[in-house]
A and B are shown apart, each in its own frame.
Chain A
């Protein structure tokens, strides 16, 4: 049943002009980068910016808007002989699938063509697309949570934007503040530890560590690599990302189960 609902939602999402523009936007920019920039590292850095800035924001706003626009339909679906659980996970997959798909098409596809000539960059490209998909799932989870926690769509949107800004800018501001205030101590470890807790920082650093620019981070890069390579670091990274993907979505699922429509 979940699968059935997922398919119907996905069918509707895939027809929306939003997802079309989102995909076209990525496709156009990717192709432009691949065409006009010569160096692979520059292309990948530009794409990384898109992944860090655009993917979370679009995933969040699109998901929120879609969920609020389809409130009455969700209600109607619930009057059919289906369990709430199925409807929730149907929506989760029905939105998340197309979001992932548009990244795969918009960024992954041009990358496949381009990287055929630069095979050594293939793992990095794959890492970037995977990071983008992960971030879009995280922000879909946040959107689901907010959509079923707030009745007012503007409130949900406002809180969503706040969360986005917090993760995108404020959190890094916090890291910077810690670095400056605690500069008398070996802050690299603290900074690296903090960066593991924010999915945007983690994805960015995981990508950068595979690139030449890691050398510009000097000792910090060494600390990051060492921590990532250690059992603790791997566990922390995987755990942190898991929590970000699972926790908001799980919260949303609990709220959906108890919600009055």
Chain B
């Protein structure tokens, strides 16, 4: 972790303010909840969120563990990064995979992205929250990502069964968050609500936060499928007729299960390059996410069911 006054000098007023707001939110959860957990998805947003948590409680350690919902289909580099991060920062890492989904042989290729996401992410998350009886869970979602996220609260109330009812959300005034819940109810907390993708990268650069190398351009084996570039991270993904693996210089703007995460052709090999590229980008970050285009309003549907 980067420390010392040097890094402060490089933070703009804007990022300093976002940082302080997020730290305030993270501390609030530690103060008010019995058993919180931080969802750690290994991506750039999770990286920033964890970094903020480490800062929020200094010189104490964050008083909660990390939780990774492992679908079994993450890029291998992501898993390596995850385990290194946990060891590097000395934080407790919990990993959960839906055993029923594994038994049923659910996977993103044969089962389709929708069923795979439902069983291996949404259901798995609910199982994990129930198993460890967490009453609050941090997520790295941002309001600028997607339309239904733009209306999400910072403290998002979930009734028993983890249901999100967009019509029955608590109004959030000032920074006076209502943290009260009854037994069985939970709260999802989004400390990065007011960050944009550009903020995330600029902060990552200023604070020198480690990120998965997949974000940086490099020659990688990909296949072109439905106009998208998919990286074959292992041989569980069979080639279809007429497809050929080719090596191209690509990177990822958003990371998930490898068969569902499309790469972009890019020469951005450093954080500076990524930020420069973003400033001229003409597509949104989630455009490479195959799960979002399943159907109209698909994110809202998934969120109602308990997806983050």
**Do A and B assemble together?**
no
Interface, chain A (partner B; CB < 8 A): none
